[in-house]
């Protein structure tokens, strides 16, 4: 019965497949082949790096003498590779030219791809589950190592953005820019509170903003009565997040980051959307050109609903149409209908909040020339929750200030699709550059080409299945033929 069922699954008539074939465990082919594939790739990597070390030996400054060979562990997406490379000596100085060239750390290093994967996984999972997932994929990284790699990447992002902001607002030095030109940009900002540990303060607010150029319909336009409704996406959305502490610092760094993408001289109109927080208002002085400040519709509707109940809908229409002063009678009606001092206090607080944002109540489309493609704002609330809170503010998590800043930067660049650009190895110091007129080290492509021209004996992989049970079965012969093909 078992044989019949199995042969039917693979589409072969029962009785046509010998029983010993079914005993070979074909369903286990991944477990049989994966170690062999990993070993083969590890050999390629080791041979490539050791060949590069040989090329460096040919072009080195002859003042550096070879003292001996040492081994180094390199964690790659295909497992740990042990590389044998030369140690050089000049006087009391010791140096590994290969380590300097590739930016390796003493003891154990991680490739840029491993670091990127660790940052990507840790930006969506806590560090322990991230470590378990990476180890299951063949990358043995402890949760502390994953944490450290995230701190390194996030720290590099934060440091460069801080330096560029100081250069721009201190010395007037513009960062490199793609110089994209647009007439109007939309900016929405909000904050998310997260818990701290080992700090004087118990909580800190992570400030985030999204900047975009407009909207693009993802489905064809249909009549208003048609369902489902048209779905849109934000055009050229860019995220910026920081644990800045001061509004001026946040907006200086944010504007500096925008300079990388835009020629801000071309932006004549800004729409700044957010709640009534003072740090968001600071942004108006940093956005050049005409800036329209708008109170986020989610917060406006929530304040009116809390205070006015059934009257909130009418009040909302008056506020967004620029007639907020006509809501006075609605507030009075709500106060008269209040059943307790606590309810009346709530109504007065919400009225004070709404009237304090009077200049930001009117819809931006009534203040700026806007076509049918200009939509209502309010994307930041969900973006803040997905970007920051899901990873940093839930499941009882707590952070140090430095850890929160660095993780925030990793989340920011992952969302922007720019995380990999922070993983490039820095150029080696001049100490490793050849001073003699020998040919310089070849490119990675030429070293790989050299590997392709040898006899390939070093690539011969050992397949454990060829030595396992049933050494004369059909799986044995198939894999043996494939390994020699």
Whether 247 is in a domain gets the answer no
* Signed CA dihedral, 418, 119, 253, 212: sign only: positive
Residues 6+ apart with CB under 8 A from 255: 165, 168, 264, 286, 287
The answer as to whether 307 is a domain residue is no
> Over pLDDT 90: what percentage of the chain?
59
Looking at residue 137, its pLDDT comes to 87
* Phi, psi (degrees; rounded to nearest 5) at 208: -140, 155
CA distance 68 to 51: 16
pLDDT of residue 279: 95
188 within domain boundaries: no
The whole-number pLDDT of residue 33 equals: 83
Give the span between the Cα atoms of 114 and 121, in whole angstroms: 10
212 within domain boundaries: no
> Given a cut of 60, is residue 153 above it in pLDDT?
yes
Residue % of the chain over a pLDDT of 70: 80
Task: Name the pLDDT band for 4 (thresholds 50, 70, 90).
Answer: very low
The DSSP annotation for 7-55 comes to HHHTT--TTSS-HHHHTT-GGGHHHHHHHHHHHHHHHHHHHHHHHHHHH
Query: Please, which residues have CB within 8 angstroms of residue 235's CB and are 6 or more apart in sequence?
Result: 212, 213, 214, 215, 216
pTM: 0.79
Residue 478 lies in a domain: yes
Question: Tokens in use for 57?
Answer: 């030996």
Give the pLDDT of residue 144. 96
Q: How many domains is the chain built from?
A: 1
User: 188 pairs with which residues across the strands?
Assistant: 210, 273
The count of other CB atoms within 10 Å of the CB of residue 116 is 19
- The CA–CA distances, whole Å, from 305 to 65, 357, 379, 421 equal 78, 16, 20, 45
Q: What's the rounded Cα separation, in Å, for the pair 191 and 381?
A: 9
| Number of other residues whose CB lies within 10 A of the CB of residue 210 | 22
Integer CA distances (angstroms), 197 to 351, 398, 399, in order: 37, 6, 5
Confidence tier at 437 by pLDDT (50, 70, 90) = very low
Which residue from 237, 241, 101 is spatially nearest to 157, judged by alpha carbons? 241
Q: Please write the tens of the pLDDT for every residue from 288-341.
A: 889 999 999 999 999 999 999 999 999 999 999 888 888 999 999 999 999 899
What would the pLDDT profile of 349-404 be if each residue is shown by its tens digit?
999 999 898 889 999 999 999 988 899 998 887 777 788 888 998 878 999 999 99
Please give the angle made by the CA atoms of 232, 237 and 241, to the nearest 5 degrees.
130
Q: What is the mean pLDDT of residues 157-179?
A: 93
Least confident of 203-212, 288-297, 381-390, 411-420: 381-390
Residue 52: is its pLDDT beyond 50? yes
Q: Is 458 contained in some domain?
A: yes
Alpha carbon distance 250, 245 (integer Å): 8
Here the tokens at position 212 are 């975009």
Confidence category of residue 202, pLDDT binned at 50, 70, 90: very high
Q: Is residue 26 part of a domain?
A: yes
What mean pLDDT value characterizes the chain?
A: 84
The two tokens of residue 393 are: 């503010």
For 21, 22, 472, the CA distances from 15, given in Å and listed in that order, are 12, 11, 21
- 387 with 208: CB under 8 angstroms? yes
Domain with 82 in it = 16-103+425-436+445-484
Instruction: Please check whether residue 89 lies inside any domain of the structure.
Output: yes
């Amino acid at each position: 019965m078992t044989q019949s069922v199995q042969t039917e699954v693979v589409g072969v008539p029962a009785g046509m497949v010998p029983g010993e074939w079914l005993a070979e465990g074909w369903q286990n082919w991944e477990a049989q082949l994966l170690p062999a594939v990993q070993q083969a790739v590890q050999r390629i990597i080791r041979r490539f790096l050791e060949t590069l070390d040989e090329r460096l030996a040919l072009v080195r400054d002859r003042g550096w003498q070879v003292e001996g060979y040492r081994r180094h562990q390199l964690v790659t997406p295909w497992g740990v590779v042990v590389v044998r490379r030369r140690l050089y000596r000049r006087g009391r100085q010791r140096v590994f030219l290969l380590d300097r060239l590739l930016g390796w750390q003493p003891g154990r290093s991680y490739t840029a791809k491993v670091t990127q994967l660790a940052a990507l996984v840790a930006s969506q999972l806590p560090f322990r589950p991230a470590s378990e997932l990476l180890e299951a994929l063949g990358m043995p990284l402890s949760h502390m190592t994953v944490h450290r790699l995230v701190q390194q990447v996030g720290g590099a992002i934060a440091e460069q953005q801080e330096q560029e902001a100081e250069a721009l607002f201190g010395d007037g030095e513009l960062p490199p820019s793609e110089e994209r030109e647009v007439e109007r940009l939309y900016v929405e900002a909000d904050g998310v509170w997260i818990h701290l540990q080992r700090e004087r303060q118990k909580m800190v607010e992570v400030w985030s903003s999204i900047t975009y150029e407009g909207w693009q319909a993802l489905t064809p336009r249909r009549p208003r009565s048609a369902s489902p409704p048209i779905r849109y996406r934000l055009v050229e959305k860019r995220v910026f997040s920081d644990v800045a502490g001061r509004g001026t610092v946040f907006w200086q760094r944010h504007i500096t980051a925008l300079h990388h993408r835009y020629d801000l001289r071309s932006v004549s109109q800004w729409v700044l959307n957010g709640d009534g927080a003072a740090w968001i208002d600071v942004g108006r002085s940093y956005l050049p050109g005409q800036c329209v400040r708008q109170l986020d519709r989610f917060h406006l509707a929530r304040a009116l609903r809390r205070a006015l109940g059934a009257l909130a809908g009418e009040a909302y229409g008056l506020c967004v149409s620029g007639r907020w002063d006509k809501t006075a009678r609605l507030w009075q009606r709500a106060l008269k209908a209040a059943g307790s001092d606590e309810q009346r206090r709530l109504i007065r607080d919400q009225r004070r909040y709404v009237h304090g944002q009077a200049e930001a109540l009117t819809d931006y489309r009534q203040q700026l020339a806007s076509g049918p493609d200009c939509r209502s704002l309010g994307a930041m609330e969900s973006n803040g929750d997905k970007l920051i809170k899901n990873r940093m503010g839930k499941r009882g998590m707590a952070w140090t200030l430095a850890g929160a800043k660095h993780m925030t930067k990793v989340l920011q660049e992952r969302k922007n699709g720019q995380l990999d650009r922070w993983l490039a190895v820095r150029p080696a110091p001049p100490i490793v550059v050849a001073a003699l007129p020998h040919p310089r080290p070849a490119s990675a492509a030429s070293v790989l080409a050299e590997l392709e021209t040898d006899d390939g004996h070093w690539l011969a992989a050992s397949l454990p299945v060829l030595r396992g049970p049933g050494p004369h079965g059909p799986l044995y012969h198939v894999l043996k033929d494939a390994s020699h093909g």
